[in-house]
């Protein structure tokens, strides 16, 4: 019975985050049973496939003027997770009207009382919004995983 709930939860999550194609690979079927998703597989299903992962945070470029020209914004409605009110879609927006900006965004979350993080670089055109994924993921059985994002660097590209 637990597997039925897991499958239903996964399908609702995939549909709500519009990641059906990518996340279908994150579930393994063996002899008719679905294995549980790891936190990394779940994170991949609700975070953005865009951006390049930063391997060395010492390489992050910082220009305060460019940082002031990018924002993290969330949509006004629900849309993430399987429960209403769980999470919102989050976007990186370049508010400049004439400059391209390379912004670095750090995402943090907790797993088994251990802080985890991932830092990615995104190149944005003037006025562009890039989807970063969901602010939270919730299971229908009461579990919740929050994703916190912050802009940790930015620089102008032109």
Q: pLDDT confidence of 126, banded at 50, 70, 90? A: very high
The more confidently predicted of residues 129 and 88 is: 129
Residue 18 falls inside a structural domain: no
Decide if 101 is inside a domain: yes
- Supply the range of the domain harboring residue 53: 48-156
Whichever domain contains 118, its CATH number is 2.60.40
- Predicted pLDDT at 48: 63
Of 78-87, 89-98, 107-116, 132-141, least confident by mean pLDDT is: 78-87
Tell whether the model's pLDDT for residue 56 goes beyond 90. Answer: no
Q: How many domains does the chain have?
A: 1
Q: What CA–CA distance (Å, rounded) separates 19 from 74?
A: 18
Residues contacting residue 117 through CB under 8 Å, at least 6 positions apart: 106, 107, 108, 109
Q: In what order do the strands lie in the sheet with 70-74?
A: 70-74, 89-94, 129-134
């Amino acid at each position: 019975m637990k597997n039925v709930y897991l499958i239903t939860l996964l399908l609702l999550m995939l549909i709500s985050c519009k990641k059906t194609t990518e996340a279908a690979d994150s579930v393994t079927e063996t002899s008719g049973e679905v294995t549980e998703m790891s936190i990394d597989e779940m994170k991949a299903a609700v975070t953005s496939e865009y951006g390049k992962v930063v391997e060395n945070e010492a390489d992050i470029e910082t220009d305060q003027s460019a940082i002031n020209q990018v924002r993290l914004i969330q949509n006004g409605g629900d849309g993430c997770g399987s429960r209403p009110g769980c999470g919102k879609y989050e976007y990186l927006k370049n508010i400049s009207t004439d400059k391209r900006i390379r912004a670095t965004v750090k995402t943090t979350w907790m797993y088994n009382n251990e802080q985890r993080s991932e830092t990615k670089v995104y190149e944005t055109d003037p006025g562009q919004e890039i989807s970063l994924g969901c602010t939270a993921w919730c299971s229908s059985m009461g579990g919740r995983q929050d994703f916190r994002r912050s802009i940790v660097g930015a620089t102008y590209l032109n």
